Each structure stands twice: as C-alpha cells, then as structure tokens.
C-alpha cells in the first residue's frame, strides 16, 4: 500500500485527522480540491472575484463557493484549510440541547464524552476572546438593551492572534514548532482571507504540524472514486482515484491506501458518497444524504444610510447575543471596500409566495424612495453594512439525492422544511434598522424565491445506532466498511445553533483518539492472524 490513510478534504475534520494519524506513525496523504493560498495571495477586497469565489467554469479558484439548491443556498470554503480560510473565526460551544437531540442522541453522553476535546480544540485553534468592540458591536449592544438581553451579550471566542497589531512574532502556540504570526489589525477582512497572518487558519496549526510529522498534502485535486481492493468490506484496503480540479484536461491517477477518511464537507463528502453508493461502495447506508441541516439560519444585511459609523472595523464577528434559549445573533462584517455582496442583494420582504413578495418589494421602494436613493448612493457598502447572522437549535432538514446529470438536488421529507422567513429574525432585523438608521436587504433569492441561505450546512452522513438511522457509528466509522471514517460537517447529527467549526474539530479529535498507534495496530493484526491459524 502507498498510504495508510488518504484523507479527502483539508477542513476542520480532515486537518485534525492528518495531524493525529501522522503523529501515530501512519503514512498520510491529504487530497484537497482547492488551491494552496499564502497570506499575500488573498484578495484585498471581494471585488477580486477570481480569488474570492470558486467558479471553475470562469477559471475562478477562490476560497468561497456559493451553491444554490431548490430549498437552500449554501456558502462554503475551498482551499488548503477548507472552511477556515473563509469562516468568521468564531468558536462557540453549543448549548446542551445539541448533545441530547438528533440521530446521535443516546449513543453516548456526548456532553461528557467531548468535555476534554473542546478545550483541546480551542487550544489547537488558538482561541481567544475578542478584546475590542467597534461600531458594529456597539450597535449590537444597543439591540441587546432594547430586547432586554444585554446580560446575554458577550465577546466572541475566535481563532485570531491578538498580539501587537501588525507585529510579527515567533510561534505563540506550539513552543516554536508552528509558523510566525502577526497581531490582528482589526481590518475586518477575515472572510475574504486574512492578509496579515493573524487568523489561525488550519494551515497554520493542524496541517502545518502534520507536515512536520510526514503528512503529504496534494492541492488542486479532486477524488472521484474509492473502491475496495479484494474483500467487499474494504479490509484489504482501497484504491482511490483522483483528478486535477483546476485544469480543463482532467487526467486521472489511482493510488492505494489501507484506510480512507471522508472530510470534504457536506457538499464534497455527501456528493461523493451518493455517487459511490451507486457504484463502488454499494454497502453504504441508505441514510446517505438524509438529515441535512441548515442550522436554521437567516442572513439579513442592514445598511446604514447616513455614513455616521464604520461597520468595517474589527474582526469578522466580534460579539454574540443569545436572544433566547434557542437562538443566537451575530453581526458579520467585511473589510473596507469589500462590497461585492451588494450586487446580489434586494429589499428584504417576507411573504408566502413570489407574487406577494414581489409586490411587497415594489411597494417597499415606492413608499421609501428617499431611503433607497440613499442606499444606492452609499459609496462603501462594507463600511455601512452589517450582516445579521441569526441561528437556532430548532430543527429544519432537507435531503440530498443524486440528480440524473450526476450532481445533487434537494428534497423535503416530513415537515421540517427550512424557511427563509424566521419570525424572530425578522423582528430583530426591523429593530436593528432603527438602531442603524438604515434599510434591511437580503440575498436576492430569499425575497424572490423564498430560498434561505446558510454558511453552516450539516449532516448527510450522520451517526446512528445502525444503518437504519445513520451512515457512521458513534466512533465515526462508516457502516459496512473497514478503516473508513467520516470527519467533517456531514457527521454532525443535531442542530448546534452556532458555528459548528469547534464541534467538528472536537468530535474529530475524539475519533482520532480511538485509532491506535501504527505499531500497536500492526501487532494487533498479527495477533489476530495467529489466533486464526
């Protein structure tokens, strides 16, 4: 075998797997579809679309991918480091409801099981409290006061190095074994890629250390097939076929491995598993693609019309407000000049169908002509706008199925359909309009087609007691196959109601902890063979 483990994807779960397995002596290869970005490669603003967006048809190989389905629009990350390149740095621990609901409920006492792994993940990701509030956080504080929840507003725990702004320092996290870091400048550019070496992306911790232990990383390649060698259950290993992801000519290469870890995020892992279930991995559970959660999110931007404050200063998300027992609200910002989202936004209205929403949009503009004239004339959208990210622990699910052309499509099973119009989110947006002296707008497909958006798509390869309820067991092993695991957002089996990055990291740490050292595993196998003889 050429490798002990091939890891498909380099996001939070894939990066954890790469480090922990290489530390245990395994020969590891990480295959990542996206490019390998250095700090100076990131765009100065998101108007540099070719470096910001992943649209291979246009030869754009940026760090953010937007995928639109019938029932949900999804924002995800690409590149070495996966979602850590484009996410807003926040690392919250979910509320207790997360650990006691969904398909993994009852498989373990998850709050206790993960008690040691959340602190480990926080340490590895360099988590620290946001030390400074700017205009955006002050506006959120006013909203918290208005709804009587000021005591539930807190600075975010984020994966950012807050040393002396702009000053380069030796590795502050891993006793000199990690790369140099520079203090955060609070430029607001976290979600277009940190150009100042302050954001603790995975290429600066897990992946960086994994390479020191011999792990290999192959960027700009995409896995297209995983096939058992010999025994149908994969006990004889697997052949993995991959191709170039950033070239028109996609020549294929096949290599062999003893084990495989799917870590390409929901859009990567679930899409590939649905394909493989129809071909080379028929023993996969029928639960593949089911129980996909949107984190019950709402994304509404509020743009200030008088330019009296600068919403672009700070980190991407500097504070979190717990609005009630099920809900959280964060304000997201982009750096000055990053106003590309503006082109995709329309007046925020709600309604049961397109005709009603369309008429509401027309009436909204007609009845507030001065305000919309001012909105059009806003020079720097990022300086004037805050994006309200509202999240809930309440369930809403879709099902991914394989389409006739080979891609994925969504379907609704049961009554838990995600909605673009969450009453509590609308209420908070209208209050925030008053505080900001601005207008609420939303991604165009929300008022036009009623499609909600999410930056935290989860599930599709969830945990279960058997194949009837899950794709993987409580240790992340795929039912029906040996030495095959899933470690990414698709394994998340309940709605966290907050950014799931920390939970993905912690659960993956636990999964890797249960894989023995390579020497121990070899001895175990030899012992088993002797017993058989």
Instruction: List, as own/partner pairs, every contact residues 181-185 make where C-beta atoms lie below 8 angstroms and the sequence separation is at least 24, other chains included.
Output: 184/160, 184/315
Strand order in the sheet with 292-293: 292-293, 397-402, 408-411
* Burial of 106 per CB tally in 10 Å (0-12, 13-18, 19+): exposed
Q: Is the dihedral of CA 192, 198, 201, 204 positive or negative?
A: positive
505, 531 contact by CB (below 8 A): no
456 as an active site residue: the answer is yes
Catalytic residue of the set 71, 322, 456, 477: 456
d(Cα 397, Cα 412) in Å, to the nearest integer?
A: 7
In the block, residue with structure tokens 């907050």: 498
Q: Which two tokens stand for residue 90?
A: 């926040």
d(Cα 75, Cα 357) in Å, to the nearest integer?
A: 24
Break the chain down into helix, strand, coil percent, rounded to 5: 30, 25, 45
For residue 105, the 8-state DSSP code is: B
Q: What angle do the packed helices 501-513 and 12-23 form, to 10 degrees?
A: 30
For the chain, how many residues are written?
Answer: 533
Rounded to the nearest 5°, which phi and psi values hold at 389?
Answer: -105, 105
Q: Which two tokens stand for residue 335?
A: 């750096």
Instruction: Determine the distance from the C-alpha atom of residue 394 to the mean position of all C-alpha atoms in its chain, rounded to a whole number.
Output: 19
Count the neighbouring beta carbons within 10 Å of the beta carbon of residue 376. Answer: 8
Q: Which two tokens stand for residue 428?
A: 């908070």
Rounded to the nearest 5°, which phi and psi values hold at 168?
Answer: -80, 135
Nearest to 333 by CA among 390, 389, 392: 389
For residue 279, the 8-state DSSP code is: T
d(Cα 359, Cα 231) in Å, to the nearest integer?
A: 61
SS (H, E, C) 472-532: ECCCCEECCCCCEEECCHHHCCCCCCCCCHHHHHHHHHHHHHCCCCHHHHHHHHHHHHHHH
d(Cα 522, Cα 481) in Å, to the nearest integer?
A: 19
Q: Indicate which residues carry an active-site annotation.
A: 456
């Amino acid at each position: 075998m050429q490798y002990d483990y091939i890891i498909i994807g380099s996001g939070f779960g894939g990066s954890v797997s790469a480090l922990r397995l290489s530390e245990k002596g395994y020969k590891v290869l990480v295959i990542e579809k996206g490019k390998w970005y250095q700090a100076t490669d990131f765009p100065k603003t998101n108007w540099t679309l070719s470096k910001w967006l992943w649209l291979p048809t246009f030869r754009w190989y940026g760090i953010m991918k937007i995928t639109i389905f019938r029932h949900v629009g999804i924002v995800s990350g690409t590149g070495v480091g996966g979602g850590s390149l484009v996410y807003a740095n926040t690392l919250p621990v979910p509320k207790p409801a997360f650990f006691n609901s969904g398909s993994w409920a009852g498989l373990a006492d998850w709050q206790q099981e993960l008690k040691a792994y959340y602190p480990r993940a926080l340490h590895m990701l360099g988590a620290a409290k946001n030390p400074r509030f700017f205009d955006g956080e002050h506006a959120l504080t006013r909203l918290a006061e208005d709804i009587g929840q000021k005591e539930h507003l807190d600075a975010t725990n984020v994966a950012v190095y807050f040393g002396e702004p702009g000053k380069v320092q030796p590795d502050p996290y891993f006793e000199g074994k990690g790369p140099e870091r520079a203090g955060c400048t609070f430029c607001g550019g976290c979600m277009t890629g940190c150009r100042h070496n302050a954001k603790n992306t995975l290429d600066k911790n897990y992946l960086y250390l994994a390479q020191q232990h011999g792990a290999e990383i192959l960027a700009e390649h995409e896995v297209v097939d995983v096939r058992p060698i010999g025994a149908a259950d994969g006990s004889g290993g697997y052949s993995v076929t991959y191709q170039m992801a950033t070239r028109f000519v996609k020549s294929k290469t096949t290599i062999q491995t003893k084990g495989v870890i799917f870590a390409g995020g929901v859009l990567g892992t679930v899409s590939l598993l649905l394909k493989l279930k129809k071909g080379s991995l028929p023993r996969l559970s029928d639960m593949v693609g089911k129980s996909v959660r949107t984190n019950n999110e709402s994304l509404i931007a509020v743009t200030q019309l008088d330019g009296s404050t600068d919403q672009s200063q700070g980190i991407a998300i500097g504070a979190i407000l717990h609005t009630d027992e099920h809900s959280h609200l964060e304000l997201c910002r982009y750096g000055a000049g990053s106003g590309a989202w503006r082109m995709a936004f329309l007046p925020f209205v709600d309604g049961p169908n397109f005709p009603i929403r369309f008429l509401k949009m027309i009436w909204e503009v007609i009845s507030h002509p001065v305000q919309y004239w001012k909105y059009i004339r806003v020079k720097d959208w990022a300086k004037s706008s805050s994006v309200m990210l509202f999240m809930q622990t309440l369930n809403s699910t879709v099902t991914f199925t394989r389409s006739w052309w080979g891609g994925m499509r969504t379907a609704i099973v049961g009554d838990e359909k995600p909605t673009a119009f969450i009453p509590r989110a609308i209420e908070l947006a209208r209050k925030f309009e008053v505080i900001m002296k601005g207008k609420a707008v939303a991604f165009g497909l929300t008022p036009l087609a009623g499609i909600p958006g999410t930056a935290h798509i989860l599930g599709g390869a969830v945990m279960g007691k058997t194949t009837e309820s899950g794709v993987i067991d409580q240790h992340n092993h795929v039912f029906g196959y040996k030495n095959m695991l899933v470690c990414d957002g698709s394994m998340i089996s309940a709605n966290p109601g907050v950014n799931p990055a920390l939970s993905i990291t912690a659960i993956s740490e636990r999964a890797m902890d249960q894989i023995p050292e390579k020497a121990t595993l070899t001895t175990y196998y030899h012992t088993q063979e002797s017993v058989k003889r």
